[in-house]
Amino acid sequence: MENQGSNIWNAACEQLKSILSSDIYERWIAVIKCTEESGTALQLAVANDFYKDWLEENYFPMIRKAVLVVSGKEMEITLEVDSSHFDVVKEEPPPEAAQTGISIPGLGFGKSKPNHNLNPNYAFDSFVVGASNQFAHAAALAAANSPSRTYNPLFIYGGVGLGKTHLMQAIGNHIASKKPRAKICYTTCESFTNEYIDAIQNSNVSAFRKKYRKIDMLLIDDIQFLDGKAGLQEEFFHTFNALFENHKQIVLTSDRTPSEMAGLAPRLISRFEWGLVTELGKPDVETRSAILRKKADLLHLNIDHTLLDYLAERVSSNIRSLEGALIRVATFMSLTNQSVNVQKIDELLHDLLDKESQAAVNVDMIQRTVAEHFDLRTTDLTGKRRSKDIAWPRQIAMHLSRTMTSQSFPVIGQAFNRNHATILYAHDQISERAKDDRALQQTIAILKDKVKKNCAKAAQ
């Protein structure tokens, strides 16, 4: 056993075992091999990219902390993919698995090896629904319940760390649990591209095509990677058509809408818009709190809910950062056996919170920017006058306040001396009109840009 020589790593594992649930420990930590240990550095290895990405994203800070605690010093820790340290699954798959999805060598979760490459943690159960994601969630659930019969393709777009991958894989996991024989393929557009390039180099394109055209469900993450790649788009177009014509569900995610991909062939844009294009927005503060409560439960973290609400207020940019913040607090609590308060949280998260406050857009700045743009005073926006030249900019400012901040309707209402229903109405009005009013779309884009610049300036 390679791990035996590694005292620090073994001790760190013991630490982690005491913090994490046995399921998580077995799944994510026990699979790591320590391949080298010196006085100052630890070299860790896992069997494939899937583990590496997941560990880096979710458990690396915790691993680092555990190593620090047991060794008493900051050590350089590297995590690499090195399949030579792992037994590739040799036994024949059971007949059922043989017909199902694409498996990754070396990826075995204990006895029940999945026959697809989905992350089991990305499920509908663990996805918290709020105002910012309820439509995307409902669409994903519909696609999972009746694949290819509701929205095909389902196109989910939104910013970084807002749950696109989670929701997409939840669809796959849902189907995998109901129909274990279904061939579900999850891949990122980047991997799809690399595989295609390899296939061309090895004159193996027909095998590549066969693989992708014979599956029951295709989940391609971060499809914006296709933007500007003509050859790849051509190949993808045919894969898309083959699957679509055979009534196979296709789910795509992207950081932008199809029409915002300037280098995408028009025929692909139109394909992508055939089904449903749905947005994952930034979660409001209530949803962020709910997410933190759910994650804290999953981590068996005994923490006061008011502190979770505090964290939710302070970390608003995306859910991944929110999760990272919670894991940092959880690691501190479990490694030191101390509880935390607001000051301790500020201290633990100082780098993260500083960044958040710099980026934070507030209603006050939106009002000032909109007033300046339309040559008005801020008090015109918050005052009573209803003439059109004031009411219109006011509605735009209300709409921006709702879309650019995570404030609730009542809080925005207070800032405009109105009730929440007025804000809701203004928000809906502007969203509706902006759908086919290009001039308004442009005004909104310009204003958003100005608001962001003004906020960044104010933070300096």
Encoding tokens for residue 367? 């009002």
- Binding of Mg ion by 187 (CB under 5 A): no
Q: How far is the CB of 326 from ligand ADP (least distance, A)?
A: 11
- Judge contact between 101 and 117, C-beta under 8 A: yes
- Closest distance to ligand ADP from the beta carbon of 415 (Å): 27
312 touches ligand ADP by CB under 6 A? no
Q: 10 Å Cβ neighbour count for 334? A: 21
Q: Which is nearer to ligand ADP, 41 or 160 (CB)?
A: 160
Size of the site for ligand ADP (CB under 6 A): 16
Q: Pick the binder of ligand ADP from 291, 307, 352, 444 (CB under 6 A).
A: 291
For ligand ADP, the closer of residues 144 and 162 by Cβ is 162
Query: Exposure string (b/e) for 262-290, b if CB count within 10 Å is 16 or more?
Result: eebeeebeebbeebbbbebbbbbbebbbb
Structure tokens at 117: 């490459």
Reduced to 3 states (helix: H, G, I; strand: E, B; else coil), residue 320 is helix
Backbone angles phi, psi at 186, to 5 degrees: -105, 130
Q: Which helix (H) or strand (E) holds 381?
A: helix 378-382
Task: Examine residue 213 and tell whether it contacts ligand ADP (CB under 6 A).
Answer: no
Instruction: Show the DSSP H helices in 34-183 as ranges.
Output: 49-58, 60-71, 95-98, 134-145, 164-178
Q: Scanning residues 162 to 181, which ones bind Mg ion (CB under 5 A)? A: 164-165
Among 113, 323, 353, 440, interactor with ligand ADP by CB under 6 A: 323
- Within residues 35-74, the interface with Mg ion by CB under 5 A covers none
Interacting span for ligand ADP (CB under 6 A) from 123-131, 256-264, 351-359, 391-399: 123-131
Q: Does 288 bind ligand ADP (CB under 6 A)?
A: no
Select the residue interacting with ligand ADP from 9, 59, 127, 416 (CB under 6 A).
Answer: 127
Interacting residue with ligand ADP among 15, 165, 187, 334 (CB under 6 A): 165
**How far is Cα 258 from Cα 271, in angstroms, rounded to an integer?**
9
Cα(154)–Cα(148) distance, rounded to whole angstroms? 9
The window from 157-165, 360-368, 403-411, 439-447 that contacts Mg ion (CB under 5 A) reads 157-165
CB of 219 to Mg ion, least distance (A): 11
The distance of closest approach from Cβ of residue 168 to ligand ADP in the complex, given in angstroms and rounded to an integer, is 8
Give all strands of the β-sheet with 217-221 in edge-to-edge order. 184-188, 217-221, 249-254, 154-158, 276-280
User: How are beta strands 184-188 and 217-221 bridged, if at all?
Assistant: parallel
Please identify the residue of the shown chain whose CB is closest to the bound Mg ion: 165
Query: Shortest approach of ligand ADP to residue 39 CB, angstroms?
Result: 34
Residues 422, 401 contacting (CB under 8 angstroms): no
Secondary structure class of 90 (helix, strand, coil):
coil
Minimum Å gap between C-beta 101 and ligand ADP is 20
- Contact with ligand ADP (CB under 6 A): which of 15, 35, 100, 133? 133
Which residue type does 388 have? K
Q: Is 166 in the site for ligand ADP (CB under 6 A)?
A: yes
Q: Establish if 293 lies at the interface with ligand ADP (CB under 6 A).
A: no
- Compute the least distance from the CB of residue 132 to ligand ADP, in Å: 8
β-strands 41-46, 76-81 pairing: parallel
DSSP string, 1-42: -GGGG-HHHHHHHHHHHHHS-HHHIIIIITT-EEEEE-SSEE
Nearer to ligand ADP among residue 200 and residue 298 (C-beta): 298
| DSSP symbol at 421 | H
398 binds ligand ADP (CB under 6 A): no
* Residues contacting Mg ion: total by CB under 5 A: 2
Point out which span in 63-71, 161-169, 198-206, 385-393 binds Mg ion (CB under 5 A). 161-169
Measure the CA–CA gap between 327 and 329, rounded to whole angstroms: 5
Nearer to ligand ADP, 136 or 365 (CB): 136
Q: Which residue is nearest to ligand ADP (CB)?
A: 163
Closest by CA to 67, choosing from 42, 46, 45, is 42
Q: Dihedral through CA 350, CA 355, CA 360, CA 365, nearest 10?
A: 110
Cα gap 405→367, rounded to integer Å: 12
By CB under 6 A, residue 171 contacts ligand ADP: no
Residue 183 contact among ligand ADP, Mg ion, none, beta carbon within 5 to 8 Å by kind: none
Determine if 128 is a binding residue for ligand ADP (CB under 6 A).
yes
Note the residues at the interface with ligand ADP (CB under 6 A).
Answer: 126-128, 133, 158, 160-166, 291, 319-320, 323
